[in-house]
Amino acid sequence: MKEAVQLVHRSQRILLSGHLRADGDCLGAQSVLYHAFLALGKEVKLLLPNPPDNRYGFLEEHSPWDLWSGTLPEADLLVVCDCNHLGRLGEMGDAVAASGMPRIAVDHHILDEDQGWTALVHDMTSAASGLLALDFAAALGVESLPLKAYEAAFVALMTDTGWLKYSNADAIAWKAAGELVAQGVDTSRVYDLVYQQAELRRPIGIRAILENLEYHQDGKLAIAYVSQARLAELGGSIEDTDEVLDILRAVKQVEAVALLTEREGGVVKVSFRSKFALDVNQVARSVGGGGHARAAGASFPAEVSLESAVQRVREVMLANYREQGLSA
């Protein structure tokens, strides 16, 4: 943390970014630091490697971002949020590696230390990168932030803890939630903005996914998937997969789930979740991804078909289930 603080104070032009398809924690952490750096009189630019999850668009109203277009803007420092590997920046990651720009990772995932980080704000025990962003702002000497920054931190915390119901919602997370509410965060408003703005086509998309649901290991493992063709046929959409993952994981005997969705351009994304035992970070790493023990994900190269991706996920889930001693 000390090196990161020194780097920020020495820098005037700061570039903020985060992983592909930025989620609530990634965007929330970025927003907190955007306002913290502005409070320090810095020039701040927020650049995303691709469009974020649509449900968090309301954060752009006070933390405006641009999308990667092939060129890094001039900056003294890059701060990457909720991202442990430059590969999670997509094509932008290659440009960052080639630039030699000093870079700080603000993250709570298992860290890939060979990524040339200049400094770190890193704690795997933190429930959300958004909480690390708040700690970083405090260490920088920013005594108070605008309400919109606290709201962004609340979004980060709530989305990464499943509204404080996941196993990472420890005492520190609950305390932080209370402190953010004390700062004036309207919890009902945040819940509405994040969870009650679904498009009409989403329930149809959920139906399409559940058509392709399979169980393994006597129901301990669940795998579901959907193609773009089927979504188009039914007139459905599935921009966000959290609702489906919760449905699958709610089954009593299910320990872990995998959900594969074919995105625009044919790229297949897989999200993994588990309840208590299976380390899905290990599962995700088997297919080039990563994350946490209870929540992880990966994207397959564009040339990998949905059918092949499903087969591969099926293989690695079963193999990891056995290797982690859970099949007895």
pLDDT at 224 over 80: yes
Residue pLDDT, tens place only, 99-155: 989 999 999 988 776 778 999 999 999 999 999 999 999 999 999 999 999 999 999
Query: In whole angstroms, what is the distance from residue 6 CA to residue 11 CA?
Result: 9
Q: 2-195: CATH homologous superfamily?
A: inorganic pyrophosphatase (n-terminal core) (3.90.1640.10)
Compute the average pLDDT of residues 164-177.
95
Q: Which residue has the tokens 């969870």?
A: 195
pLDDT of 162 strictly over 70 = yes
Domain ranges of the chain: 2-195, 202-323
pLDDT score for 42: 97
What is the reported pLDDT for 113?
A: 67
pLDDT number for residue 115 = 75
Alpha carbon distance 69, 75 (integer Å)? 16
Tens-digit pLDDT profile for residues 187-212: 999 999 999 988 899 999 999 999 99
Model pLDDT for residues 263-281, shown as the tens digit of each residue: 877 899 999 999 989 999 9
Which of 54, 40, 48 shows the shortest CA–CA distance to 15? 48
| Whether the model pTM is above 0.85 | yes
Average pLDDT (246-274) is: 93
- List, for residues 39-98, the tens digit of each pLDDT value: 999 999 999 999 998 889 899 999 999 999 999 999 999 999 999 888 889 899 999 999
Spelled out in words, what is the top-level CATH class assigned to the domain 202-323? alpha beta
pLDDT band at 328 (very low <50, low <70, confident <90, very high): low
pLDDT value of position 287? 94
Q: What pLDDT, on a 0 to 100 scale, did the predictor assign at position 286?
A: 93
Looking at per-residue pLDDT, the higher value among 164 and 21 belongs to: 164
What are the backbone dihedrals phi and psi of residue 212, each rounded to the nearest 5 degrees, phi first? -115, 65
